Amino acid sequence: MSLSDDPPAVGVCDDSNEAVVSAVRQLTRGTAWSVVDRVPLGFPAHHPQGVTRGSDHRLYLSTAEILEPTRAYESPVDGFDRTPGQGVGHVVVTDAGGGELGHVTVGEDAIYHPGGIDFDGESLWVPVAEYRPDSRSIVYRVDPESLEVREAFRFGDHIGGIVRDRQSGLLHAVTWGSRRLLTFTPDGRLTHQVENKSHFVDYQTCVSVGGGRMVCTGIAEYPVPGGVFSLGGIAVVDVDSGRIEHEAPMTELSPAGRVVTYNAVHLETDGSVLRMFAVPDDGASSGESHLLTLEAALA
C-alpha cells in the first residue's frame, strides 16, 4: 500500500542519540512537562505499542488489535502462564493532524502483538510477539514508503521493543517487562544479553541508541489500597551492563488517566526543549485515542 500526499510537518527536531541522551540527562523528579498539543487520531488505535518518526516527518504507530484477550492458566501449560489469545498486529502511518496516511498488518497466527519500533533512516524495525512472556517473536523490516513488509529474523522469546544503533548497525531489544536486554546483528544473531539492573519501571519502548547507550520509557503499576499507583519513567541505559545511567519519573497523565509513557513514545530535542510524542490510550474507534505532544524546558 502506498502512502498519500505529504502531510504537514510535525516540527523540526533532532532525535539522534547524542542529542536525546544529553537532554534526558537533564531530567529530574521536579522537571515540569507541558502538553502543547492533543490530537484525536482519526482511526482505531486499538492497543498502541510504539511510535517513531520517519525522515519525512510522518509518524509510524505500531498497535495490537486484540480479538480475544489472553487468560491466565491455573498452573503453567507447556511453560506458559496464560493462553495466547488472538489478535492482529498493525503499523499505521499518521501525521500532525492525526489522519491515517497508510496501514499494513504484521505478524502471523499467535504472533500478533507488535512492540516498540524504530526507524534507522532506511527501514522501520518492527518486533511482533506472542502476547505472553517467554514466547516467540518475528522481527520485520518495513519500507516506510511502500510499507512492504519483510521478515528479518525470528527469536525464541518475547521481544517487546527494538531499536537500531546508528553507529554499529546492531539491534538492541527488550524482552517482556524489559527484564532482559538483548543485542542482535541485523540478521538475528544474538551477540549479547544482560539482565536489566533497574526494577522500578518496565520499559515498553526504546527511542534512541548509540555510543553504547539507549533511552527507554515505560511504566510499572504498584498495588495500593483501593487500586494501583502507576509510575512512569525515562532512563538512559548502558546496553552492555544493563546499568541505568540516569533516570527520572514521569507522572503526566493522558486523557484516559494513564501515565503518558504507558506505551508508545518518541523523543526528540531542539536543544531548548525535550519533545515527547506519546499515544498512551487504547481506542477501539476513531477519535478515542490521542496523539499527545509534550515538552520539557532544558537548561
6-22 confidence digits (pLDDT tens): 433 445 566 778 899 99
Task: Provide φ and ψ at 176, rounded to 5°.
Answer: -55, 125
**CA atoms lying within 13 Å on the CB side of residue 60:** 29
Classified as helix, coil or strand, 20 is: helix
Q: Closest Cα partner for 262 from 275, 274, 276?
A: 276
Class of domain 17-297: mainly beta
215-217-220-226 Cα dihedral, nearest 10 degrees:
150
CA dist list (Å): 247 to 23, 250, 259: 12, 10, 16
CA dist list (Å): 132 to 86, 205, 258: 12, 17, 22
Classified as helix, coil or strand, 19 is: helix
Q: Which three cell numbers stand for residue 209?
A: 541508541
Q: Which three cell numbers stand for residue 127?
A: 518486533
Please determine, for residue 5, whether its predicted confidence score (pLDDT) is greater than 80.
no
Query: What's the confidence (pLDDT) of residue 14?
Result: 67
Query: Per mean pLDDT, which range of 139-153, 200-214, 257-271 is the poorest?
Result: 200-214
Query: What's the confidence (pLDDT) of residue 167?
Result: 87
> What is the number of residues in the chain?
299
CA 155, distance to chain mean position in Å, is: 18
Query: What's the confidence (pLDDT) of residue 9?
Result: 42
- Per residue in 92-126, is it b (16+ CB within 10 Å) or e — as a string? bbbbbebebbbebebbeebbbbbbbbbbbeebbbb
Please determine, for residue 3, whether its predicted confidence score (pLDDT) is greater than 80.
no
Please determine, for residue 181, whether its predicted confidence score (pLDDT) is greater than 70.
yes
pLDDT tens across 73-118, in order? 999 999 999 999 999 999 999 998 999 999 999 999 999 999 999 9
Confidence band for 141, pLDDT divided at 50, 70 and 90: very high
pLDDT tens across 39-52, in order? 999 999 999 999 99
Query: Per mean pLDDT, which range of 9-13, 196-200, 268-272, 273-277 is the poorest?
Result: 9-13
* pTM of this structure: 0.93
**Higher-pLDDT residue of 260, 1:** 260
CA 42, distance to chain mean position in Å, is: 20
- Confirm if 158 and 133 have CB atoms less than 8 A apart: yes
Please determine, for residue 53, whether its predicted confidence score (pLDDT) is greater than 70.
yes
Alpha carbon distance 253, 258 (integer Å): 5
Q: Mean pLDDT over residues 128-138, rounded?
A: 97
Query: What's the confidence (pLDDT) of residue 7?
Result: 39
Q: Mean pLDDT over residues 260-287, rounded?
A: 95
Please determine, for residue 122, whether its predicted confidence score (pLDDT) is greater than 90.
yes
Please determine, for residue 177, whether its predicted confidence score (pLDDT) is greater than 70.
yes
Confidence band for 202, pLDDT divided at 50, 70 and 90: very high
